[in-house]
Each structure stands twice: as structure tokens, then as C-alpha cells.
Structure 1
Amino acid sequence: MSILEQINFLKSIHPFDKLTKSQLEYFSDNLDIVYLKKDEIIQDFSQEPQNLYFIIKGIVQEKNEEKEVLSFYSTLEFFDSVSLIENFSKNRFVTKEETICYSLPREIFIKVLHENPTLESFFFQSISQKLNGNIHHEKNKELANLMIAKVKDARVHEALILPFETTIFEAVTKLKEAKVPTLLLEDENKEIHIVTDSDFREKVILNRMDFDESVGKISNSGLKYVNENDFLFNAQLLMTKHGLKRLVVKNNDEKIVGILDQISLSSFFATHTFSVSNEITRANNVEELKVASQALLKIIKSLYAKGVKVSFISKLINQLNRKVMDKLFNMLAPKELIGNSALIVMGSEGRGEQILKTDQDNALIISNDCTISKEDLENFTRLYTETLVDFGFPRCEGNIMLSNPYWCRTQKEFKDLIYNWINKPEKDSYMNLAIFYDAICASGNRKLLDELKQHLFNVCSDSKSFYMHFAKIVMDFDVPLGFFDGFVFDSKNKEHQHELDIKRGGIFIVVQGIRALSLEHKLMRANTLKRIKELTDKKVFTTEFSEELTEAFNYLCTLKLKSNIEKLDSGQVIDNYIDPDTLTTMEKDLLKDSFKIVNKLKKKLENHYKLNYV
């Protein structure tokens, strides 16, 4: 390129359009063109970066040390200003395909940066947003990216550990001296217990306890622990799952180093996640529970807008949804069902991959010796389904709900049903089996479901014929990608002629393919990504293909969520269709790459199960 073309190139990239004429010429005089092969590492962990890169053509991935992809950079984008300013690279930058870049020496960039106040303001403002998490949505300055933020990045209170037999008076005195709100106690068996300020108020003062009694009498056990290097988001999931306000923090040597509480953790959030979780816990009636459940959409939108990964969002929302369903079940269920049944959620809800509220897919397993009457059971299941509809969970079009007697049975009846699905298959048998295999227990006696899944594994045994027919359904779904990497549209679908069904053409193929392999290997996991990991551990997939498949699945789910949020905001009905013309060039390329990986999985399934012969 000529100097003029280089100047115009730089001016097309914000904030370099704010450079003066002489600064643009200075930059242009010092630009070099770099040609890079696919999978070439441009900049590695802990390196002192040498250049700022402007992409002319190609795609570059930014990955952390856990090999998670944090960002993509494509044509007319640059990287990595943060590393240049800090003179340290904390991530790896590697080409996704053959790439051509301009490189600008670090000293040139830093010199002009300090000479141009607008440029300096832009980059230092950006750095303050990105230091803890590579935030790419600048409008949300208050949130550090939770994929990167660790527990130790939050405010962890000092751990004050005293003997179990310490008196109440001595304990309060020590707490005041240490200026911490929580006390840990160690008993003679080296077990750790906890005492909070509310314990002193509610157990000591209100019960008029003697201050010379052992503080251990008011302590609580069953603590949950988290490593200081674990992701902060995982700490939130743990708190949400168990309804906790505090976690005990350990280091890599298993030594207790502090306590993480809700207040410290919530400073990393702007979504009121804990308040919603607490509202669900505190709900005293159905109306209060409904109000709490309706706040979930706001959380989804907020987390997505702030760049939090879809897999993390789905984990959190799945935990909250299950909490709502469990609470509702215990509010409405007749006493005969409590402890003698299992409310299960299936399909995408069971896999923990449903984010926005879609059709109900649930069932009720009843213990064989439960004494509930048929009339009471029917009244409850009908009421439960109608209440979920009122909460915003639509009826399942296929009537896969516990209000349908087909999905409300004793454990023995379910065993017979599973046997028939496998050995006497009818039209919907394999679909019902697939939905059931994805089930998790949302409330009640989980053992009832676990025993049914073990029964499922036993009935399947090692029947190659069954697995072949179970996996064959993926061959009925075509990946919408042509021979020359062009998108293929369904000309028969008049309503969505220029759109792609991203679920049918990508997500479902991955889900069903992984489901078939997981059933063959008798995995209890329901989540697709966790199944991929276990299959990789069993050497079914190579590590490289596992990473590709995980990345492709996450990307397809992200595009689907993005599209549905946009449709919700504009008052449209959410569906599985996306218009590729609304995507950027980089997004289109990534979608094509994802479809290629789906095709690769499809080919593996075809070879493994000899699907051409079924």
C-alpha cells in the first residue's frame, strides 16, 4: 500500500481517526506488513510485546491460560494496546486463519499516545475497564469480566479462627479487635464451623444466653469452600445453588485464607442476582415467587450486554430456574408427594442450556409406594403446569409436561416405558428417550431419577443396533453450508427464505450427536459441554477437536441468544432463525467455521455408527 492508502486505512479505525496529520504520517512511515500462517502465535503469555497490530485480512484469537477464547479480532481491528502500555502480555494471540497485519513498533505507539490527549484518554479509559477482564462492551464500565475475575480479586475478609470452646464474650471481643463480621471455629476433630453476627443476635441475645457459654453452641457446620484462584462467577454459582451468603476461601495449599460474602461478591455485579435469589428463597406465596421469577430476563440481558459468556449465563439462570421450580413444587404439592416423588426437567432445561423461557419439558416420577389419590394427583399436576404458564413458561407443544399422564408415572411404570422405548420403538420413542436422558431432578427425591437412568443404561446394554438407530436422526438434519462455503437457505420456507435455522442446522446436531455418544458410554452428565469433556477424557475425541466443538457450540448458542434478545426488544416472537446479512464479516466467518466443525462431528458419527447402512 502507498502512504496515502495506509493513512486512509488508519483513519478508518477509531480512535486513530483522532491523530493529527503529522502523527498519521509518522505512524505510516513506521508500519510494516506481516504475513502469518494459520495457528501461528503472534504474542504469547508473559511476553514483553513489541508491536501494535492492525488486521488487514484474517482473524486473530485472544486466549487465556485455560485456553478459553476471550476475543476475536478481524479486518479493521487492532490488538493489543493493553499489553503495550503495561509492557506485559497476560494472554496469547494466535491466528485463526491466514492473516495479514500491519505492525507498529511499541515505542512509536507509546510516543504518540502521550503526545495526543484524545488518544491517551481513550486508551487509558479502556485499560481501566479491561484490566480485570477484557471487557468489550464499553457502555458497561462497572463490571469486570467474570470469566477472568478470580475470587482473590474480590474483597475477601480475614479469617479469624478460634477454638470451638471459646466463650461467647471472648469471641465477641476478638471479633471487635479484628474488625471482621464472621468467626470460624475449629473443634477437636479439626472440623471448621462458622458463627455470624446474626447468630449472636438471634441465638445469644434473644435466648438470653450466658456470655460464658461456649460460642460453639451457636455455630453452624456444613461449610462450602472455594479456591482463591477459582473464577468469581463459579463462586456466585455455588452461593446461588446452596442459598449461601458466605464461602470459606482456601489457597492452593488448602489453607483457609478468608471469607467471601455476598456484599463483596455483589460489587462485581450490576444485575441484582443475589437479591433475586433471596427473593425466591423468601417468597411466602405463589404471587411473590412469580414476581421474583420475572426478574430473570433482566439478569440475562444485563449479563449478556456486559460480555459474560453464554455458558456462564445459562449455568446461573438454570440454577435460578430450578430454585423457582423447587420452591413452587413445595408450595403446591400434596404432602403425600413430598419425599416420595421427583420433579424432573428435561430437554434443554435439563441440560442447563435453556436461557430464555421456552416450552415446559417436565415430568413427575412417583415412588411405587406413594399413597396419593388419582384425583389429588391430577389436581396438583394441572395446577403446577398452569402456574408455570402464568410465570411465563409456555406449554409444551408436544404436551411433554407432568399434567400429561404419559409423563406422570410411578417409578415402575417409567421402567416399563423405558424398556418399550428401546425394545418396542414407536414413532416418538427415540425422541422421548432423548428428552428423558437429558433429565435432571429439580425437586424431590433425586434417587428415583438416578435409578431410572441406571435402568436405562442396563436396558440399552451394548446393543449396537439401538445406538445406530438412536444416532441416525442427525442424518436428517443438514448443515446449511454449501461446498464453496456459502450459506444454503431453505427455498421452501417462504417465511424465512433468507434466514438460517441455527438450531436445526447446528445446535441440535451437536446436542444429539453428543447425547448418542454419552448414552453409549453410560454418562450420567446432562449438560452438552460437560458430556464433551467426559467423552474427551475417555479418548472418544482428541483434545483439539473437543476444543473446536466446544467453541463452535458456544458460538452458535451465543448467536441464538443475541438474535432472540434483539427480537424480544423489538416485540418479535423469539425463534431459531438468524439473518446472516445482519452479521458482521467476522461473525459470518465464525458462523461458517462453526458449521464446518458441526459437519466434522456429523462425519465422525456417520463413521462410528455406520449410519450409511442403517
Structure 2
Amino acid sequence: MVSEGGAGERPTGSDLDEARRFVAAHPPLDGLADESQRLRDAIEARRAGATAFRLGAEGAVAGLLRREALVASPDDTVRGVARRMAEHDVSTMLIVEGGRLVGIVTDRDLRRRVLGGEIPDTADIARAMTSDPITVKPDADASMAMLTMADRDVHHLPVVDDRGRIAGVLSANDLLNRFGTSTLHVVRAVRSAPDVQAVARAACRREDALLSLVSAGVNAEHVTRFLSSIAEATHRRIAELAEEELGPPPVPYALVVFGSLARREVAIGADQDNGFVFSNAYDAAGHGPYFRRLAKGLVDGLHSAGYPYCLGEIMATNERWARSLDAWRQRFERWIEIPDSENLLRTSIFFDMRCVHGEEHLIDSLRIAVAGMAKAHTLFLSHIAREAAQASVPLGFFRGFVLHEGEHGEGAALDLKRDAIATLVSIARVHALAAGSLALSGAERLRSAAEAQVLSNEDAEELISAQHFIASIRMEAQADAVRSGTTPTNRVDPRTLSRFDRDHLKDAFRVIRRHQDLVVRRYAGGIV
């Protein structure tokens, strides 16, 4: 362990002078408020410091619209709508009734439903449209619109204001013009891949997507959501291909993911953490061989797509993590009732669980039951609060970073995942469990805890600001690694950062340290 100066923790004369100046300039009570405000200002300053092109990433959707939307009535014929679309050279028509948007028709809908013979071209267009389409507001930012397309697997979004007035239609091509190599294209290629090899080729383009998103000025929260969309699509498509080969599953099941993918906070370099939840009709002797083959195809396919095997074997191939719904419920109950060191470690992994393929209702019922158990078990909450508080924050007494040598001789640096992000995740999880919340992402958990009044709004937003700032530092470091041809990691040498970023990274670390104290006082009686 070394300080950012490189030699250790012994302060120099300049360190002491800086400490005195800092204490004089920041009285304790004022310092708390200033730190939080400085972090919020820093996030805004980083965004405002981007180029004009980069500002477009967070700009309004309205600025991307190129023409007025073409509209039709539900009782217009399919033939008439198709003719008008061809005359105007558009791929989308909005269906409006009584001044209200009721549907959307795309050229893909017409090819599939009309040319496929499902609907005659003399029929009302209402039979071919997609009813109640997903919409976006004109003032929504462009990156959020692209995220909606990726999550919902759509290529067009009607743009509608709060009064129901139609402003236009945003297409995937509009976003491609803004972002370059579009994450949408990567997700689309994964979802349409004919075999596992094609899935792997498509998923391995996510580093290109990372560069495009970071270069376009997309904030780190949205970047991790985009990377999570790619990972989720990869899991789902590989499972689908395995089912096509093996035949239908013998009993209902859910493919679940844990950790950062469950929270939709994936970064480059994340390994795989997954498992199966079977219906209670599962019989190991009769059904086990099918699911073992499915699990093997899944984890091997993910590894080939750049999601490495989990060194801790938290994968569906490990039968400990491929169990019936009742067996999973009993396991969570035991973890909560006996919060020893091993079970607390399991908490940090498996309490972040989400279904990405299969029968989602299995997971919904499990997570509801677990949330109720955790909220009612104050001893369990006190143990996970202490666990969150015991993590070391990498700040020395004289405001220097405490750096650690890499495991493979990389040199002294901060490990932002281990030293900060993991602790923020733990703090948010404690508050969410105390609130009985089913939220998963850090920001959603903290805001749900604030709504339940187990955390103040100010504290929630302060933690969210710290999380966003640290995530942005990590994401830009990973993008720099991709550009330079080196392997992206979670490690950052603070000596490579600007003075602005170093100072505000220290602010973020102090926020973490303060909230470690808070969770212990609130849930563990102040005892670490």
C-alpha cells in the first residue's frame, strides 16, 4: 500500500501546510454541505466542458427530428397507408384517432403481416398496427431515447408531449447519425444472430460502442445501461439458441443474473454471474440432464462472447445456483437468519438478482418474499450495515489517495470497483432492504429509500452524485484503455487525472466514508 506520492503514509511539510490550509478553509459543518455541492457542480462542469458535438448526446430529442410525422386513421386501408408511405419515402406511419395516438405501423410490420399473408391489403390499418406504442417526450435526452430503443427492441419512437401533441418520430437512424457506431446495432446483431459464433462476434463489438458513447458525451449511468443491454441480449440469445437445439425446457425456469448486470451497471471486463430458478415441478433426476446441457452451452457461449467464466463458479453450471423456487427461498431465508461471514458474502452477490430469460414471475415472487424477510430481520440489517462500513476508503489522513499495487505488477493505483463502487452498492442495498424496496440499481434503490423515509432526499442525492462521478472516471479510463489497445480494468492511477478530477474524487470518497458511519449508526447502533 502506498500513497499517491508513491512512498507511503508519512506526511511531508507540504502535506501539513495543505492540511492546515484545508482545515482553515473548510470548517467541519460547512465542509459537509460543500462536499455534496461540489460533487454536483463537478458533474455538471464535466458535462458543460464537453464539445458542442458531445453536448448533443444529452440534448433534447426534439433537435433530432427531421420531418413532421405522417399520420393515418385506424380505418384507412393497408393498401392506402402503404402507398402514402412509399410516396413520402418514410418507413413509419402514426395512427391517430380523435387527435390521440393509438398505434404505429412500420415497413417491417407491413412486410411481416401483409406480405406474409396474415392480413389482406384491403383490411383496415388498425389490424396491422402496433397499438399503444412506447413514446418519448420532446425534451427527453437523446441517450435516454436510445436506451429505451435498446431495452424495448424497437426502432422507432413517436415523440409526444405532455398534452398528447405529436412532434414527430425518432428513428434508430436518427440516433446513429448522432452517436456513430450505435449500441442499437450491436444489440440488434446479437438478437438476430443465427448461432453462438455470430452472437460472440456481435457482442465483442461492445468496446466500439463504449468508445462511441463516451466520445458522444453520454453520461456514465447511461453507458453502463447500454453495456448491460448488450450483456442481457447476449445471455438471452444464447439461451434461446440452446433451447432450439435441445428442445423446449421440460419445466418452466428462469435464467437469472446477479451483481452488476442485475443492477444494469455493467462495465467493460465484467465476468458472468448467472444461475437458474426452476418451478417447483423440477425433478433433478428427470430434468437435470437437460438443464446441465443448457447451462454448459450458456456459460461456454458467454465466455466466447467476452464474458469470462466466474472464478467463484457463480454460474448455472454449478448446481448450487440451479435450484427450484422453494430451494432458493429456503436458501435466502437461511442467509438472513444466520448472517455469518460466508452468508454475508452471499448477500453481496445474490441479493442483486434479475431474470433475463424465461419465466419472470418465478423471480418476482422470490424477490418479494426475500424483501419482506430482510426488512423484518433487524439483526440481519445490522450485520450487512457493519459489513458495508468495514470496507476501506482509499484516503489517507492528509487527504492523499492510498494506492495499491496490482496483482499482476501493474503498479500502484486505485481500484475504483473494490475501493469505492462496491461500497456504494452495499450502502444502497442496506437502505433498500430496510425500506423493503425491490429496486436494483444504485440510484433507484437510494431514491426508493428516500421515498420510504429511511434516508433523507439530500443523503440519497449526495450518494447518487458520488456514484455518478466515480463511474464517469472509471468509464473514461476504460475508454482510454480501449483507444490505446490495452485491456480495460477498474484500476485508475490518480496521477493521470486532472487536478479537478482528483479533488472531486476525494470529495466522493469522503461522502462514502461519511455514509458508512451513517448506516452503522442507523442500523447497527453505531457499533462496527
Fold agreement, TM-score > 0.5:
yes
Matches within 5 A, 1:106-505: 134=48, 136=50, 144-147=55-58, 149-155=59-65, 157-172=67-82, 174-175=84-85, 180-186=90-96, 192-201=102-111, 203-204=113-114, 207=117, 212-333=122-243, 334-337=246-249, 340-370=252-282, 373-489=287-403, 495=409, 498-505=412-419
Question: Structure 1 residues 579, 341: CA separation in 2 closer, same or farther (over 3 Å shift)?
Answer: same
Matches within 5 A, 1:540-559: 540-559=454-473
Q: SS in structure 2 opposite 1:541?
A: coil
Q: SS in structure 1 opposite 2:399?
A: coil
- Deviation, structure 1 residue 355: 1.5
Question: Structure 1 residues 420, 60: CA separation in 2 closer, same or farther (over 3 Å shift)?
Answer: closer
Question: Structure 1 residues 319, 597: CA separation in 2 closer, same or farther (over 3 Å shift)?
Answer: same
Which of 1 and 2 has greater Rg?
1
Provide structure 1 residue ranges, at least 5 long, that are not aligned to the other structure: 1-36, 39-57, 73-132
Q: Corresponding residue for 2:7?
A: none
Q: Distance in 1 between matches of 2:453 and 2:53?
A: 42
Question: Structure 1 residues 183, 475: CA separation in 2 closer, same or farther (over 3 Å shift)?
Answer: closer
Whether the 8 Å CA contact 1:338–1:444 is kept in 2: the answer is no
Paired AA for residue 261 in structure 1: S
Q: Distance in 1 between matches of 2:407 and 2:112?
A: 65
Paired AA for residue 187 in structure 2: S
Which string of whole-angstrom CA distances, capped at 9 and with x for unpartnered residues, describes residues 231-264 of structure 1? 1111111111121111121112122332222222
Question: Structure 1 residues 163, 479: CA separation in 2 closer, same or farther (over 3 Å shift)?
Answer: same
Paired AA for residue 45 in structure 2: S
Which string of whole-angstrom CA distances, capped at 9 and with x for unpartnered residues, describes residues 379-432 of structure 1? 221221122111111111111111111111111111111111122345421121
Matches within 5 A, 1:561-600: 561-567=475-481, 574-600=488-514
Whether the 8 Å CA contact 2:424–2:467 is kept in 1: the answer is yes
Q: Distance in 2 between matches of 1:534 and 1:363?
A: 27
Which stretch shows the higher mean deviation, 577-586 or 225-234?
Answer: 577-586
Q: SS in structure 2 opposite 1:414?
A: helix
Question: Structure 1 residues 571, 422: CA separation in 2 closer, same or farther (over 3 Å shift)?
Answer: same
Whether the 8 Å CA contact 2:394–2:402 is kept in 1: the answer is yes
Q: Corresponding residue for 1:126?
A: none
- Deviation, structure 1 residue 181: 3.8
- Deviation, structure 1 residue 551: 1.8
Whether the 8 Å CA contact 2:79–2:122 is kept in 1: the answer is yes
- Deviation, structure 1 residue 313: 0.4
Whether the 8 Å CA contact 1:186–1:193 is kept in 2: the answer is yes
Q: Distance in 1 between matches of 2:247 and 2:39?
A: 54
Q: Structure 2 length normalisation: TM-score? A: 0.84
Question: Structure 1 residues 183, 578: CA separation in 2 closer, same or farther (over 3 Å shift)?
Answer: closer
Q: Corresponding residue for 1:70?
A: 44
Whether the 8 Å CA contact 2:56–2:142 is kept in 1: the answer is no
Whether the 8 Å CA contact 2:385–2:524 is kept in 1: the answer is no
Q: SS in structure 1 opposite 2:276?
A: strand
Paired AA for residue 492 in structure 2: I
Q: SS in structure 2 opposite 1:277?
A: helix
Q: SS in structure 2 opposite 1:481?
A: coil
Question: Structure 1 residues 389, 203: CA separation in 2 closer, same or farther (over 3 Å shift)?
Answer: closer
Query: Which of the pair is proportionally richer in helix?
Result: 2
Provide structure 2 residue ranges, at least 5 long, that are not aligned to the other structure: 1-24, 27-34
Question: Structure 1 residues 397, 538: CA separation in 2 closer, same or farther (over 3 Å shift)?
Answer: same
Which stretch shows the higher mean deviation, 243-252 or 335-344?
Answer: 335-344
Q: Distance in 2 between matches of 1:609 and 1:154?
A: 48
Paired AA for residue 166 in structure 1: D
- Deviation, structure 1 residue 223: 1.3
Q: Corresponding residue for 1:34?
A: none
Question: Structure 1 residues 221, 539: CA separation in 2 closer, same or farther (over 3 Å shift)?
Answer: same
Which string of whole-angstrom CA distances, capped at 9 and with x for unpartnered residues, describes residues 424-458 of structure 1? 34542112123111111111111111111122123
Q: SS in structure 2 opposite 1:267?
A: helix
Question: Structure 1 residues 227, 567: CA separation in 2 closer, same or farther (over 3 Å shift)?
Answer: closer
- Deviation, structure 1 residue 212: 4.4
Whether the 8 Å CA contact 2:119–2:127 is kept in 1: the answer is no
- Deviation, structure 1 residue 369: 1.4
Paired AA for residue 136 in structure 2: V
Which string of whole-angstrom CA distances, capped at 9 and with x for unpartnered residues, describes residues 328-355 of structure 1? 1111134443871111111112111122
Q: Distance in 2 between matches of 1:173 and 1:464?
A: 66
Number of corresponding residues: 492
Paired AA for residue 330 in structure 1: E
Question: Structure 1 residues 416, 209: CA separation in 2 closer, same or farther (over 3 Å shift)?
Answer: closer
Which string of whole-angstrom CA distances, capped at 9 and with x for unpartnered residues, describes residues 25-82 of structure 1? xxxxxxxxxxxx99xxxxxxxxxxxxxxxxxxx999798xxx893325xxxxxxxxxx
Q: Corresponding residue for 1:77?
A: none
Whether the 8 Å CA contact 1:363–1:400 is kept in 2: the answer is yes
Q: Structure 1 length normalisation: TM-score? A: 0.73
- Deviation, structure 1 residue 580: 2.1
- Deviation, structure 1 residue 356: 0.6
Paired AA for residue 216 in structure 1: A
Which stretch shows the higher mean deviation, 285-294 or 564-573?
Answer: 564-573
Question: Structure 1 residues 544, 188: CA separation in 2 closer, same or farther (over 3 Å shift)?
Answer: closer
Instruction: Report percent identity of matched pairs.
Output: 23
Q: Corresponding residue for 2:11?
A: none
Q: SS in structure 1 opposite 2:45?
A: strand
Question: Structure 1 residues 377, 153: CA separation in 2 closer, same or farther (over 3 Å shift)?
Answer: same
Question: Structure 1 residues 551, 367: CA separation in 2 closer, same or farther (over 3 Å shift)?
Answer: same
Whether the 8 Å CA contact 1:367–1:448 is kept in 2: the answer is yes
Question: Structure 1 residues 321, 415: CA separation in 2 closer, same or farther (over 3 Å shift)?
Answer: same
Whether the 8 Å CA contact 1:536–1:542 is kept in 2: the answer is yes
Whether the 8 Å CA contact 1:151–1:228 is kept in 2: the answer is yes
Q: Corresponding residue for 2:435?
A: 521
Q: Distance in 1 between matches of 2:150 and 2:406?
A: 46
Q: Corresponding residue for 2:31?
A: none
Q: Distance in 2 between matches of 1:306 and 1:183?
A: 30
- Deviation, structure 1 residue 461: 4.4
Q: Distance in 1 between matches of 2:130 and 2:110?
A: 12
Whether the 8 Å CA contact 1:294–1:391 is kept in 2: the answer is yes
Which stretch shows the higher mean deviation, 505-514 or 255-264?
Answer: 255-264
